[in-house]
């Protein structure tokens, strides 16, 4: 199989972790006889510094001409005071829009070997296997107006939560499709007791559910979901929600199992390419020290193999290798605990490759 992969390392530890993940992709290519080619593009703060924009057109073109996109991370305090349109995050928001990445998928998985680094009790998180499906190109993130104004001489400000019904249908359908290959449960999260958009969301979820009689659907208010996620995360299988709620809940979900440095994500479009990135940020404080955890990016690559290339066996091989390495006790600093073997980023990549 021949595939073109766009690699956007971005800022901070983004470079180190994508380098590691590309090594794993190369190894997979060799072992299974695939031809993966890699082209590199700029995004984020480094791009602002060099090119005056967080997302140059060349990067967009590069991505559109590729079969999949691997992203490291963007941002850092260095660029926090820039005007909004020059912030690294703008690059991220723009690439989502440009590639039509309407759904962000984030699995949160329990790793028995990492339970010690979770803030939650082991019995609460044991066997957690949750998939957050977040709508990614609508809602408060892109609605207009989003501006300050004067009203009767007073300073006021407005943001707009806007959705097309079809945008809701599309992402909710995806959640049901994904649930079919899992535990066949969908929790649809909204704030239907307050927001009109949430009432429509709930109706759409009920409509879509009719086409999936084998999937159990449940509606949950977002405040309750934020509670239940901590109280009893095991109750969830697939959770689907709109953009802003998803931003909050997926970050909350990511700390439950103590494996933040381990969590991959995929962003899906209607006609590809999809984009893969670790959940963690650019962590500028540990940049260049060779201590960042490359596993989230490596597991993102496993998602790429599965979702973009249909290479299930290869994806499983990568995931199995990660599990083996953890079982053997290898840990980067963020997940290290007493009795484990502390290793560098590069050593961790080598261990996964060798397995």
Ligand X SMILES: CC(C)[C@H](C(=O)O)[C@@H](O)C(=O)O
Q: Which is nearer to a copy of itself, 111 or 330 (CB)?
A: 111
Q: Which is nearer to a copy of itself, 60 or 200 (CB)?
A: 200
Measured over the CA atoms of residue 140, residue 143, residue 149 and residue 152, the dihedral's sign is negative
Binds 222, which of ligand X, a copy of itself, none (CB < 5 to 8 A, cut-off by type)?
Answer: a copy of itself
Q: According to the binding rule CB under 6 A, does residue 84 interact with ligand X?
A: no
CA distances from 220 to 168, 240, 256 (A): 16, 10, 19
Q: According to the binding rule CB under 8 A, does residue 218 interact with a copy of itself?
A: no
Nearest to 274 by CA among 344, 174, 167: 174
Q: For ligand X, how many residues bind (rule: CB under 6 A)?
A: 7
Q: Beta strand pairing status for 216-221 and 2-10? A: unpaired
CB atoms within 10 A of CB 293: 27
Binds 227, which of a copy of itself, ligand X, none (CB < 5 to 8 A, cut-off by type)?
Answer: a copy of itself
The two tokens of residue 13 are: 């530890």
Instruction: Let me know if 191 is a catalytic residue.
Output: yes
How deeply is 260 buried, as exposed, middle or buried, from its count of CB atoms within 10 A (0-12, 13-18, 19+)? Answer: buried
Instruction: Let me know if 251 is a catalytic residue.
Output: yes
User: Annotation-wise, does 21 bind a ligand?
Assistant: no
The two tokens of residue 235 are: 């109750």
Q: Which is nearer to a copy of itself, 51 or 248 (CB)?
A: 248
Task: Tell me the C-alpha distance between 332 and 185, whole Å.
Answer: 34
Cβ–Cβ under 8 Å, residues 205 and 189: no
Q: Which stretch binds a copy of itself (CB under 8 A): 46-54, 57-65, 217-225, 270-278?
A: 217-225
Instruction: Let me know if 223 is a catalytic residue.
Output: yes
Task: Tell me the C-alpha distance between 11 and 211, whole Å.
Answer: 43
Instruction: Let me know if 102 is a catalytic residue.
Output: no
Q: According to the binding rule CB under 8 A, does residue 85 interact with a copy of itself?
A: no
DSSP 334: G
Cβ–Cβ under 8 Å, residues 81 and 232: no
Q: According to the binding rule CB under 6 A, does residue 218 interact with ligand X?
A: no
Instruction: Let me know if 159 is a catalytic residue.
Output: no
Q: State the minimum distance, in angstroms, from the CB of residue 277 to ligand X.
A: 8
Q: Which residues are annotated as a binding site for Mg(2+)?
A: 223, 247, 251
Q: List contacts with a copy of itself (CB under 8 A).
A: 84, 87, 89, 93, 119-121, 124, 140-141, 143, 146-148, 151, 154-166, 191, 193-197, 199-200, 222-224, 226-227, 229-232, 244-245, 247-252, 254-256
Residues annotated as catalytic are 141, 191, 223, 247, 251
- Contact residues for ligand X, defined by CB under 6 A: 89, 92-93, 193-194, 223, 247
């Amino acid at each position: 199989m021949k595939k073109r992969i766009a690699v956007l390392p971005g800022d901070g530890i983004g470079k180190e972790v994508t380098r590691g993940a590309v090594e794993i992709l190369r190894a997979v290519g060799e072992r299974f006889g695939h031809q993966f080619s890699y082209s590199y593009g700029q995004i984020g703060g480094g791009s602002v510094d060099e090119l005056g924009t967080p997302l140059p057109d060349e990067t967009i073109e590069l991505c559109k001409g590729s079969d999949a996109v691997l992203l490291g991370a963007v941002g850092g305090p260095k660029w926090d005071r820039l005007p909004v349109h020059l912030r690294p995050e703008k690059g991220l928001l723009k690439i989502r829009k440009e590639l039509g990445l309407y759904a962000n998928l984030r699995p949160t998985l329990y790793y028995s070997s990492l339970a010690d680094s979770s803030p939650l009790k082991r019995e609460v998180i044991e066997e957690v296997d949750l998939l957050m499906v977040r709508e990614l190109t609508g809602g408060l993130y892109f609605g207009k107006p989003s501006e300050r104004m004067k009203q009767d001489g007073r300073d006021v400000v407005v943001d707009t939560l806007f959705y097309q019904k079809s945008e809701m249908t599309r992402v909710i359908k995806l959640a049901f499709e994904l649930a079919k290959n899992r535990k066949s449960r969908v929790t649809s999260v909204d704030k239907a007791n307050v927001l009109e958009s949430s009432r429509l969301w709930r109706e759409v979820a009920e409509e879509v559910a009719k086409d999936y009689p084998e999937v159990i659907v449940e509606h949950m208010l977002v405040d309750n979901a934020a509670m239940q996620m901590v109280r009893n995360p095991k109750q969830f299988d697939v959770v689907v929600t709109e953009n802003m709620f998803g931003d909050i809940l997926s970050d909350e979900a990511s700390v439950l199992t103590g494996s933040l440095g381990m969590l991959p994500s995929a962003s899906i479009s209607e006609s590809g390419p999809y984009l893969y990135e670790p959940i963690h940020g650019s962590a500028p404080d540990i940049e260049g020290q060779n201590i960042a955890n490359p596993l989230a990016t490596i597991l993102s690559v496993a998602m790429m193999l599965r979702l973009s290339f249909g290479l299930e066996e290869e994806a499983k091989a990568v995931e199995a290798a990660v599990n083996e390495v953890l079982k053997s006790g290898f840990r980067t600093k963020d997940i290290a605990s007493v009795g484990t073997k502390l290793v560098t980023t590069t050593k961790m990549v080598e261990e996964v490759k060798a397995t």
